[in-house]
Amino acid sequence: MTAPRVVITGLGGVTPIGTGAAAIWESACAGRSGIGPITLFDVSNQLCRIAGEVRGFEPGRYMPAKHLKRMDDFARYAVAASVMAVEDAELPITTDNGRRIGVLLGNNNGGARTIFRTVTSFNQDGPSGVSPFYITAITTNMGAAQVAIRLQVRGPNFTIGNACASGLNAVGEAWRYVREGTCDAVIAGGTDALIDPTEIAGFANSRAVTLRNDEPERASRPFDRDRDGFVLSEGAAMLIVESLEHARARGAHIYAEILGYATGSEAFHIAAPLPDGIGVAACMQAALASARVRPEDVDYVNAHATSTPIGDLNETQGLKLVFGAHADRLAVSATKSMTGHLIGASGALETLITAKTLETGIITPTINLDHPDTGCDLDYVPHTARRADVHHALTNSFGFGGANASLVLRRWEK
C-alpha cells in the first residue's frame, strides 16, 4: 500500500517579527529584525540586555479570558498560533472527525516564566503566594493540552522536548502520523517563552548569547565574522500537516508538500557539535534519503544558523559534506538573523517560512551579514530577499545534547 502524500495547509504564529502568518512573512521578506531591549523585567544587572520579545500580542482574541490566568505564556502562544493555523487552513473540527486530528507540540522548558514568578512570590509570601493553577500552568504538556481543549481535538496529543530541535521534530513526527494513517491531520509546531531573569543570566554566563546590547537589531548575525552568540527569543509557530487526499477532498489551499524527515543524536557533547559537520551532515543525508531526493535537486536551505561561532561554521561544513560541488549553487538563509532563537519554536517557524518560500518563490534574507567569516563561504542571501525558482528545500534544527532534525519539502504543483 502506498503511503499517503503529506501537505501543509495552514500556518499560524506569534513571533518577535509579527503575529499571524501574513505579518511574519511580510517582515521576513523585508529583512526586519524583531530584536530589541528587554522590557519584561529590570536588566540593569544583566550581562545580556536584549531579546526577541513578542509585542502587541492580544491573547484574549484567541481564547476565553477566564482561561488566561491558568496558562503560562508558552501555552498562550501555542493556542493562539494553533487557532490561526486552523482558521488559515479552514479545517473543520467536529465531534465526528476530532479523533482523527492530533496535536504535536515542541517545547523546551514548559512554564519557565511562571516558575520564576512563583518562586519569587513564595520567597516573599510563603505558600499563600502560590497560585492554585501553578502546577497545571508549568507542566510541559500543557501547551498541547490547552490547544486540544480550545479546539476540541481528541486525537493523539504529545509534547516533544528535544531542545532546539523540538519544533521541527513535532512537524516531522506529524508527517509520520499522517503517512502511517494514524491521523488525517495534525496541528504541529513549537512554542517557548523563556525570557526571564534566570534564563537570560544562564545563557549569558555560559557565553551562548550575544552581548551586543547597544545594537539589538544588528546583534543576530549568522555566518558573520563578528557574531558572538545567539539572541534569545520567544513565541510559537503552528502548522496544519494533512494528508493530500484529505486536503483535496475539502478543497484546501496547499502551501507545500513534506517529502521526508530525519532526526538523530550525535551522542558527543552537551553543547558542542561533532567536529567538521559530520553529525549534522548525517541528519541531512538521512532526511534526503527519506524523501528520495538527490542533493543536487535541492535549491534552498533554511539553516539552523543561530549566530554562534562554532555552530554556523559547523553547519556550513555539514552542507558541504552533503552537497559537494552543488553547495556553491545552493541558496542558504538564516531566519534567526531576524527573529533570534525561539528555542523550541524555531524549527516550526522556519518550516513556516520555508513553506512560504516554496509557495511564492521568494527567499528571505540573512540580515547583518556584513563580513562573512572564514569558512562561511556559501550563498547566504545577504541583506535582501531574492526571487528564485525553488522546487525543493531543506530546513534544519540542531539542539543542545546533539539533537538534530532535518525536513525536506517540495513546491506544491497540481
168 burial via Cβ count (<10 Å: 0-12, 13-18, 19+) = buried
3-state secondary structure of 363: strand
The reported pLDDT for the residue numbered 319 is 98
CB 318 within 8 A of CB 280: yes
* Integer Cα distance of 304 and 368 in angstroms: 16
Tell me whether residue 164 is one of the annotated catalytic residues. Answer: yes
Which residue among the candidates 29, 341, 376, 392 is catalytic per the annotation?
A: 341
Contacts of 375 (CB under 8 A, 6+ apart): 313, 316, 317
Tell me whether residue 304 is one of the annotated catalytic residues. Answer: yes
- Looking at the chain, which residues constitute the CATH 3.40.47.10 domain(s)? 7-249, 260-411
The reported pLDDT for the residue numbered 69 is 86
Which residue among the candidates 246, 304, 376, 392 is catalytic per the annotation?
A: 304
Taking domain 260-411, whether its CATH number is 3.40.50.300 is answered by no
Residue with cell 500556518: 11
Say which CATH topology domain 7-249 has.
Peroxisomal Thiolase; Chain A, domain 1 (3.40.47)
* Integer Cα distance of 318 and 283 in angstroms: 9
pLDDT in tens, the chain (414 residues): 789 999 999 999 999 999 999 999 999 999 999 999 999 999 999 999 999 999 999 999 999 998 898 999 999 999 999 999 999 999 999 999 999 999 999 999 999 999 999 999 999 999 999 999 999 999 999 999 999 999 999 999 999 999 999 999 999 999 999 999 999 999 999 999 999 999 999 999 999 999 999 999 999 999 999 999 999 999 999 999 999 999 999 999 999 999 999 999 999 999 999 999 999 999 999 999 999 999 999 999 999 999 999 999 999 999 999 999 999 999 999 999 999 999 999 999 999 999 999 999 999 999 999 999 999 999 999 999 999 999 999 999 999 999 999 999 999 987
The reported pLDDT for the residue numbered 377 is 97
* Integer Cα distance of 228 and 208 in angstroms: 8
Which residue among the candidates 29, 48, 164, 183 is catalytic per the annotation?
A: 164
3-state secondary structure of 117: helix
- pTM (two decimals): 0.97
Instruction: Report DSSP letters for 273-335, one per residue.
Output: PPGGGHHHHHHHHHHHHHHT--GGG--EEE----S-HHHHHHHHHHHHHHHGGGGGG-EEE-T
Runs of H (alpha helix) within 51-164? 65-68, 73-89, 112-125, 134-138, 142-151
The reported pLDDT for the residue numbered 2 is 85
